[in-house]
Amino acid sequence: MSPTLVARLRALARSPWTWLVLGGLLRLLHIAILGNRYYFGDTAEYQSAALRMLHGLGLSGTAPRAPLFPMFMALSFRLGGEGNYVFTRLLNFVLALALIMVVSRLAARIGGPAAGMLAASMMAIAPTMVFTAGLLYPTTLYMLLLASMTLVAWDLGEQPQLGRGLALGALFALGWLTDQVFIAPSAAIALWLLWRLRQHGMALARALAAAVIMAATLAYPYALALERQTSDGVFMRKAQSVLFSARTDPVLSHERWITYPPGATFEALRPHEFILREGNLFVHHPIAYLHDWTWEFIHFFRPVPDRVQTENRYTQPIVLYIGGLYFLILLTIAILGLGFGRGARRGRLLLALVVLGTAAFYSFFFTQARYRVPVECHMIVLAALGVQHAFPRLTRALDPEDTGGHA
């Protein structure tokens, strides 16, 4: 291979536009294959909520779905026509491209320019990222908001500024309005920022206070609407329903030690009653409770997806095993990056807390492969740091600041 061609290929690999274009082409191809239909049942609920909004019926009917993605769908239906899923996917495609850029920026902040380029390349071709970009689910929007919040949190923890605190609060509110589970990784980020108080003191404390005020201001109207709609909390009711299903599902009964008897009927409790009941279960059956939580925590990282209820071409065994192989590789390199990756240890800690905090939260209820997808972009950043450690020549080849001529 001629030196000129090698130099041109290296220049292409070092350009973020290369990976953005490649990632965009893969996602557009996937959207074209999907066509104008949806493949998973939850989409019907989001569409129903979107149509209610589109026809002036407001937030009512969005439960148990948070409103931001139905609003996104309603906007796409307004612009592209009701039931035009291709147009909705094209709008989601824009979010997917923004996600590649944000994750690349996050990796560059923590591990340097080469880490940013490695993360961009991984995000561009990662099967999970390409697949979710075409789904009519809030996953891409959720990931974009969470990655953006993590980036702002990193900057805030390094150099506190009031504007960054306000941005952090706004991103939390938007994430919570996308899916109430957003509170789990947000709690992990908050824990990391509280740890950084020892370094920055009152400057960071003032920024965090601004974040709380901003988040409360933006989230309060929806919280008030929920309170008027139901007094027992829509999210808590949904969480209880999921946990009840897990404890009564005959397939899962051999995995769990705490189960409900056959014929048990679901009855939603008020949030404090639910927490009290679970607390009593833990007090009286601590070993069984810890067993179930630990089992679900481990299952969160199961490479090959299971507990799949929908049957279509994307849930065939060959597809699931390909996805499992990809995740096994990602998990291995991410663990390497966590332990030995380049970049600040506090940055790797932040990424790990987001992933593990999400896993810990879901483990109280029920875990599936699709629940970990929103934090796989954080694992990709850790994997980029791992590649830096394990493959220094590849890292130099992708480093836009390296001028040593290494291959």
Residue pLDDT, tens place only, 201-222: 899 999 999 999 999 999 888 8
Query: What pLDDT does 221 receive?
Result: 83
What average pLDDT score do residues 238-260 get? 83
- Confirm whether 404 is domain-assigned: no
Identify the pLDDT of residue 228: 65
Q: Half-sphere exposure of residue 170, counting CA atoms within 13 Å on the CB side?
A: 8
**For the residues of 310-343, what is the DSSP string, one character each?**
--SGGGSHHHHHHHHHHHHHHHHHHHHHHHH-SS
Question: Please, are residues 253 and 205 in contact by the beta-carbon 8 Å criterion?
Answer: no
Residues spanned by the domain of 206: 3-398
Contact assessment for residue 339 and residue 139, using Cβ atoms and an 8 Å cutoff? no
**Contact between 120 and 131 (Cβ < 8 Å):** no
Residue 396: its pLDDT value, please? Answer: 77
Dist CA 395 CA 393 (whole Å): 5
How does residue 63 score in pLDDT terms, banded at 50, 70 and 90? low
Residue 406 lies in a domain: no
In a domain, 405, yes or no: no
Domain assignment of residue 403, yes or no: no
In a domain, 285, yes or no: yes
Residue 407 lies in a domain: no
* pLDDT exceeds cutoff 50 at 406: no
Count of domains observed in the chain: 1
Q: What is the mean pLDDT of residues 70-93?
A: 94
pLDDT in tens, 165-213: 999 999 999 999 999 899 999 999 999 999 999 988 899 999 999 999 9
CA–CA gap between residue 223 and residue 243 (Å, rounded):
23
What's the whole-model pTM score? 0.91
Q: Lowest-confidence range among 12-21, 103-112, 118-127?
A: 12-21
Mean model confidence pLDDT for the chain: 88
Instruction: Encode pLDDT of 343-381 as tens digits.
Output: 779 999 999 999 999 999 999 998 989 899 999 999 999
User: Are the C-beta atoms of 59 and 68 separated by less than 8 Å?
Assistant: no
